[in-house]
Every structure is written in C-alpha cells, then in structure tokens.
Structure 1
Amino acid sequence: MGNLEQYRQLICRILTEHTKIPYSYGNIQHKTIFDREQDRYLVMILGREPVPELSLTATRRVHDCLIHIDIIDGKIWIQRDGTEEGVATELVRAGVAKDRIVLGFRSEELRKDSEFAVA
C-alpha cells in the first residue's frame, strides 16, 4: 500500500473505529477531526469526568488529543498516540510498510533504533 488516497481512507477508518470504543468513566465522547486538504487527522476526547476527591458530584472538563496523524511527504507521521495497542501496529496490519510510518512522538535518535521510518 502506498497511494496517498489509500492512506487517507485507511487513517479515517482506523480513527473512526477508535471513536466507537467507550470511555471507561465519566461523560466522555471521542470526536474525529479530518482535514484532508492539510492531511491532518485527529481523535479528540471531550466531556466531563468525576473528581471524587473533591465531592461525589464534582466533575472536571476533559479536552485532550488521543490520536494525531499527519501525512507529510507521502509518509504517515504519528504525532500523538494515546492508544493501548498503537496506531502504528494497526497501520502495519492493514498493509502499510513500516518505512512509510514515522513515530513523530519519538525523538529522531530513538526513531533510528526503531523498525519504522526516521523521517
């Protein structure tokens, strides 16, 4: 697999699947943000979660990025991955070559020692 449009479709499919996994507590939703023109793809976590140490009814706002992927120069850059299994593993299982995946959340020195692309 190496076609840019195939990458876009695959990333959207994988990220959409992550929005179907329920959050373990609180009133939390997963939202996708797909910017196909800039090739930026995110899963955001939004909502409220309990704060039991304050009171039984206290909550705090949750607003965070679970997954952030960019396509840069024909490679898939994983900028943030807060999943257990790892988005890179899912991409490889779907047929993306490891040399087309960059673990952007790691330093360049650490990327050299991985089986994925450096940049």
Structure 2
Amino acid sequence: MDKIAHYRTLVKDILTEYDQLANNPPTPEVETILAFDDERNQYIWFQVGWNQKERVRGITVHIQIKNHKIWIEEDWTEEGIANALVNSGVSQSDIVLAFHPPEVRRDTDFAVA
C-alpha cells in the first residue's frame, strides 16, 4: 500500500472511531456526520442539528492530505488527532498542524508545511 493510501485509511479509521465514541449515547437531535472524499483527500467530522432551541453546526475535525503529508485544518478533540496519528505510526514530520500559523508551527514537534 502506498503512503497516501495508507494515510487515507488511517485517517478514516481514526475519525470513525472518534465518531463512534462520541455518539455513545447518541444525542437524538444532533447528528454527527463523517464526510470522506478520497478523490480530493478531504476528511471531515461535523455535527448538525438542534440542542433544545439552539442550532448546532460545526466542524470538529477537518483533515486533508496534500504534498504527501496529513494537514490537520481543524481539531476540537480533547486528545488531538495528531497524537492518534503518531500512535498509529505516522511520523511527526508528516503531520502539519495547519490550524496554527506557520510561525507557530516552527515551535512544535510537527511539520511546518
């Protein structure tokens, strides 16, 4: 399996696991959605629905694979998707914390770009 295909599989597996954990027990008025686009290498976990009289909508995680690296565009998980990726064998040099500005990324153990 080539690197990109391997990263696609890892990202989908991790997001699916997070989604299953978050929906136990499920909130009936709020739907969590996983959107996987292998053609464009875009992976999103988001919620839509209603919490009493308030609209719920938002992205919890958005990941894209580009330039042979995993770019974490949005991550509102407690543990951090980057940590889950590292624990699955992905090198920190192949993970970009894109939600940080480039000058901040230099101060992390992860890739700048």
TM-score normalised by length of structure 1: 0.87
Q: Counterparts in 2 of 1:1-119, with a 5 A limit?
A: 3-20=3-20, 21-22=22-23, 27-50=29-52, 59-119=53-113
Aligned-residue RMSD, C-alpha: 1.9
Q: Distance in 1 between matches of 2:37 and 2:46?
A: 14
- Using the alignment, how far apart are the partners of 2:60 and 2:28 within structure 1? 16
Q: Secondary structure at the match of 2:39?
A: coil
Query: Which structure carries more helix by proportion?
Result: 2
Paired residues, what number?
111
**Identical aligned residues as a percent:** 38
How far has the Cα of 1:69 moved from its partner?
0.1
Structure 1 regions of 5+ residues with no counterpart?
Answer: 51-58
Q: Which runs of 5+ in 2 are unaligned?
A: none
Distance 1:26 1:113 in 2: 41
Q: Provide the TM-score with structure 2 as the length reference.
A: 0.91
Q: Secondary structure at the match of 2:10?
A: helix
**Superposed CA offset, 1:26-79 (max 9, x none):** 7222110001000000001111113xxxxxxxx122111110000011000000
Q: Larger C-alpha radius of gyration, 1 or 2?
A: 1
What amino acid maps onto 2:51 in structure 1?
E
